[in-house]
Chains A and B, each alone.
Chain A
Amino acid sequence: MTAIPSQMDRRDALGLLARAPAARLAELLPELPAHDLLRAPEIGTVMVRGRAGGTGAAFNLGEITVTRASIRLPSGHVGHGYVQGRDKSHALRAALIDAMGRPDIIETLRAEETARRAAIAVEAAATRVEFFTLARGEDE
């Protein structure tokens, strides 16, 4: 549990924690372990950028709400949470799990996110149009 995760694993875990529903994280980590606050939970915004034509020059599209928090465990492990939305306990739990390293929680979140995305992909696939073509040049 205390194995130091690779940067890719940590990046991956922080993303899953950020995108998970706040209520779900509260279920998975109901009790908060002892910790010191390095940065009390703070609500702010992040400017989301797009690109002209999808691939061209960047432009500012609009903001999203983001909440962040940083903690230190008694063991000395430091954790950071940056989560979408305005739920301070969500950011705090993300920071705690980042510091604790809880692969069980991360894998649960991964499975749930995969299922959420798959459910939408299934609905979308059912609305795929198969247009009939009367003459297809490429079939010649």
Chain B
Amino acid sequence: MYVAVKGGERAIDAAHDWLGRAHRGPAEQAPLDTAQIRDQMALAVARVMAEGSLYDPDLAALAIKQARGDLIEAIFLIRAYRTTLPRLGASAAVDTGAMRVKRRVSATFKDIPGGQVLGPTFDYTHRLLDFRLMADGELPATPPATGDGAALHAPHVLGFLNRDGLIEDTPDDGKEPGDLTREPMELPADRALRLQALARGDEGFLLGLAYSTQRGYARNHAFVGELRIGAVSVEMEIPELGFAIELGEVEVTECETVNQFKGSRTEPAQFTRGYGLTFGQTERKALSMALVDRALRWDELGEDDQGAPAQDQEFVLSHCDNIQATGFLEHIKLPHYVDFQAELELVRRLRAGAEDEA
């Protein structure tokens, strides 16, 4: 229990003043511009948008600057800001099949219509520090590519497997999805709520859980059927107009996994699937999300509960939100004097009782 304390105003003010100066860094350095953070720290911005659950690159850059690069603190700032805004409506579901892709790979099929497109990836780099970035000199600029600029037609890879009935179908049930930012999540949660929770969940936590499934804790043999990154249009019905407009565009990462098949005497064998969708270029997160989504589907797919953490939706969904987690964790730093005083009294009394008996 946290009991309010009084006093300390002067020290708190001084601490915040120091924070302000520490935040600025040495006065002789140029201050960081939020546009530089937005454009040059774009993957940090993407993570803050994905887990902050608010797509606005300028705001995410500001939050990162204010948080001195502490991304969970930045996500906290974004979540807090979001609560101050009215909700104007909900979009139609984005059409990821019509994504304007800048990256699109499949680990299961070599030859896919539209081709494999690597995009701006760290894959195949040697992970050697590039000291040119530290020196004054900029990297030599390479000229941008040339071409006709025709949009890549890239239908979903798993659609082809689906056509042959080799993979489970994912029909649209037409249901209005629950929203955990409006109604407290009740367990067991349906897949729509689980996907929402995972999409805003902590990357590190989900990465660890996804990895645990690969190592054997509810192993489900995931292959990356397709991973794609690119822009999708956001369309919403505007009441005063009476029709929908494409009022925005967001970059998203989508990951579809092809998993362990199931089948029986009456049903032919069929692959199953996991799904990840996240704001920004956040492919480690989307991939982790897909693996954990698949692990959480054990019940509906008729698999055994192996007691693995990634299968336990209460465990996963109650602990994947890093703002809930850090809020509870970090509050124990704050004064608990009265609370602790009571414990101290109790231990003293127990000890006194034991001495009396001796």
- Most chain A Cβ neighbours within 10 Å, of B102, B105, B231, B234: B234
B171 touches A56 (CB 8 A): yes
Check A105 for interface membership: any CB of B closer than 8 A.
no
> Quick one: given A18-B245, A57-B175, are A117 and B100 in contact (CB under 8 Å)?
yes
Shortest C-beta distance, A83 to chain B (Å), equals 7
Contacts of A44 in B (CB 8 A): 85-88
Q: Which of B103, B170, B177 is close to A60, meaning CB atoms less than 8 Å apart? A: B177
A53 touches B158 (CB 8 A): yes
Check A48 for interface membership: any CB of B closer than 8 A.
yes
Contacts of A18 in B (CB 8 A): 245-248
Check A119 for interface membership: any CB of B closer than 8 A.
yes
- Please tell me the number of chain B residues within 8 Å of chain A, measured between CB atoms: 88
Check B145 for interface membership: any CB of A closer than 8 A.
yes
B247 touches A62 (CB 8 A): no
A15 touches B117 (CB 8 A): no
Shortest C-beta distance, B174 to chain A (Å), equals 8
Tell me the residues in window 1-47 of chain A with beta carbons closer than 8 Å to chain B beta carbons.
7, 10-11, 14-15, 18-19, 42-47
Q: Which of B175, B177, B195, B244 is close to A11, meaning CB atoms less than 8 Å apart? A: B244
Tell me the residues in window 240-280 of chain B with beta carbons closer than 8 Å to chain A beta carbons.
240-241, 243-250, 252, 254, 256, 273, 275, 277-279
Interface of B is mostly: mixed
Check B19 for interface membership: any CB of A closer than 8 A.
no
Check B139 for interface membership: any CB of A closer than 8 A.
no
- Most chain A Cβ neighbours within 10 Å, of B115, B151, B180, B247: B247
Q: Which of B58, B90, B243 is close to A49, meaning CB atoms less than 8 Å apart? A: B90
> Quick one: given A54-B96, A60-B177, A85-B56, are A121 and B277 in contact (CB under 8 Å)?
no
Contacts of B350 in A (CB 8 A): none
B117 touches A124 (CB 8 A): yes
Cross-chain pairs A/B with CB under 8 angstroms, 24 sampled: A14-B241, A14-B245, A18-B248, A19-B246, A44-B85, A46-B90, A48-B250, A49-B177, A50-B94, A51-B94, A51-B172, A53-B170, A54-B254, A56-B170, A56-B171, A57-B172, A58-B177, A59-B193, A60-B181, A63-B82, A64-B55, A84-B234, A129-B116, A130-B115
- Chain A 66-95: CB-based contact to B (< 8 A → 1; otherwise 0): 101010000000001011111000000000
Chain B residues close to A by CB (< 8 Å): 49-50, 53-56, 58-59, 82, 85-94, 96-97, 100-103, 105, 110-111, 115-120, 144-152, 156, 158-159, 170-181, 191-193, 195-196, 199-200, 231, 233-234, 236, 238, 240-241, 243-250, 252, 254, 256, 273, 275, 277-279
> Quick one: given A44-B88, A121-B149, A124-B152, are A58 and B111 in contact (CB under 8 Å)?
no
Q: Which of A59, A127, A133 is close to B111, meaning CB atoms less than 8 Å apart? A: A133
Shortest C-beta distance, B300 to chain A (Å), equals 12
A62 touches B172 (CB 8 A): no
Q: Beyond the given A10-B241, A49-B90, A60-B181, could you list 18 further A-B residue pairs with CB under 8 A, ordered by the A residue number?
A: A11-B243, A14-B238, A45-B82, A45-B87, A50-B277, A51-B170, A51-B172, A56-B170, A59-B196, A64-B248, A65-B54, A65-B85, A80-B241, A82-B236, A121-B151, A122-B144, A123-B120, A131-B111
B248 touches A58 (CB 8 A): no
Contacts of B56 in A (CB 8 A): 64-65, 85-86
- Please tell me the number of chain A residues within 8 Å of chain B, measured between CB atoms: 57
Shortest C-beta distance, B124 to chain A (Å), equals 10
Contacts of A125 in B (CB 8 A): 117, 145, 147, 152
A47 touches B89 (CB 8 A): yes
Tell me the residues in window 98-138 of chain A with beta carbons closer than 8 Å to chain B beta carbons.
117-131, 133, 136
Shortest C-beta distance, B255 to chain A (Å), equals 10
Contacts of B82 in A (CB 8 A): 45, 63
Nearest CB to that of A61 among chain B residues? Answer: B199
Contacts of A46 in B (CB 8 A): 87-91, 234, 236, 247-248
A133 and B116 alpha carbons, distance in the complex (Å)? 14
A66 and B49 alpha carbons, distance in the complex (Å)? 15
A62 and B181 alpha carbons, distance in the complex (Å)? 10
Shortest C-beta distance, B117 to chain A (Å), equals 5
> Quick one: given A15-B246, A49-B91, A54-B97, are A127 and B59 in contact (CB under 8 Å)?
no
